[in-house]
């Protein structure tokens, strides 16, 4: 019987193994674990979203970001995994945010937008002829309920964190966060912590490696992308220390 052969249970997304596993969802999670490190931090001062990016060629426009996204005025997202899948989900999140804004005549919550994307991702785990999204997203922002950070993955699961990291360097970043994170951090302190986490967790730092970072201050609730020039100034002493030059 074909299904008795080892590995046969991963031939269709709708088939559970005898152990109750959906292998294609687990494969999608492996894509996330191999992706670029991305993180989000919620603190009293606001929300910080940061992700590492690597240029594929010197001809690539270094100012164009494809892993850090603005969803609404007060909501952002970072991705780890397949960037093409992330872009599609981000477009869905942006449309959903505007629908909620027009329907209820108020700013959508981070939770509502994330749960919708979680629903979309879950739908792609239970229908034949499709595959799971090979990406995980961290949504962060400031709404009437406070400063919030949510995580959603290929299975469609949605979880809330005070601070979290995903991608290949996620485990190392989480170790740093568990040791140093406090909810009482100022936005400036959280920003510096995020930059240090990504520098220390990077596999390789060279001229093609950089990070993108955005903040959403609690008082203004406005998504603000940090200029690359300022980021480079903040990164420089950390990179020198990492490379043994400081």
What are 57-74's pLDDT values in tens digits? 889 888 888 999 999 999
- 143 is written with which tokens? 């709404």
Matching residue, tokens 């040791």? 179
Sorted by where each starts, the structural domains of the chain and their CATH numbers stand as 11-55+67-241 (3.60.20.10)
- Residues in contact with 211: Cβ distance below 8 Å, sequence separation at least 6, in sequence order: 50, 51, 52, 53, 195, 198, 199, 231, 235
Q: What is the pLDDT of residue 128?
A: 85
Where helices occur in 58-156 by DSSP H, the ranges are: 83-104, 110-123
C-alpha span between 139 and 76 (Å, rounded): 6
Please tell me the pTM assigned to this model. Answer: 0.94
What does the mean pLDDT of the chain come to? 94
What are 121-179's pLDDT values in tens digits? 999 999 888 999 999 999 999 999 999 999 999 999 999 999 999 999 999 999 999 99
The edge-to-edge listing of strands for the beta sheet with 158-161 is 68-72, 75-81, 135-143, 146-152, 158-161
DSSP 8-state class, residue 208: T
How many alpha carbons fall within 13 Å on the CB side of residue 113?
34
Say how many Å lie between the first and final Cα of the chain, rounded. 63
């Amino acid at each position: 019987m074909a299904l008795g052969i080892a590995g046969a249970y991963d031939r269709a997304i709708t088939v559970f193994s005898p152990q109750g596993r959906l292998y294609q969802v687990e494969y999608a999670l492996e894509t996330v674990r191999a992706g670029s490190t991305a993180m989000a931090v919620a603190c009293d001062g606001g929300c910080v979203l940061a992700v590492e990016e690597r240029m594929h060629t010197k001809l690539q426009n270094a100012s164009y970001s494809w892993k850090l996204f603005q969803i609404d005025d007060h909501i952002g997202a970072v991705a780890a995994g397949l960037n093409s899948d992330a872009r599609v989900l981000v477009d869905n999140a942006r449309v959903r945010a505007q629908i909620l804004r027009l329907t209820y005549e108020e700013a959508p919550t981070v939770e509502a937008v994330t749960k919708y994307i979680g629903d979309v991702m879950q739908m792609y785990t239970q229908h034949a002829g499709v595959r799971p999204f090979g990406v995980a997203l961290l949504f962060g922002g400031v709404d009437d309920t406070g400063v919030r950070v949510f995580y959603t993955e290929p299975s469609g699961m949605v979880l809330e964190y005070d601070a979290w990291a995903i991608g290949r360097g996620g485990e190392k970043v989480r170790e740093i966060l568990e040791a140093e994170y406090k909810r009482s951090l100022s936005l400036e302190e959280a920003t510096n912590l995020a930059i240090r986490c990504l520098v220390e967790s990077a596999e390789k730092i060279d001229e093609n490696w950089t990070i993108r970072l955005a903040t959403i201050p609690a008082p203004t609730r406005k998504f603000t992308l940090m200029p690359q020039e300022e980021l480079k100034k903040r990164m420089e002493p950390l990179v020198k220390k990492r490379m043994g030059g400081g």
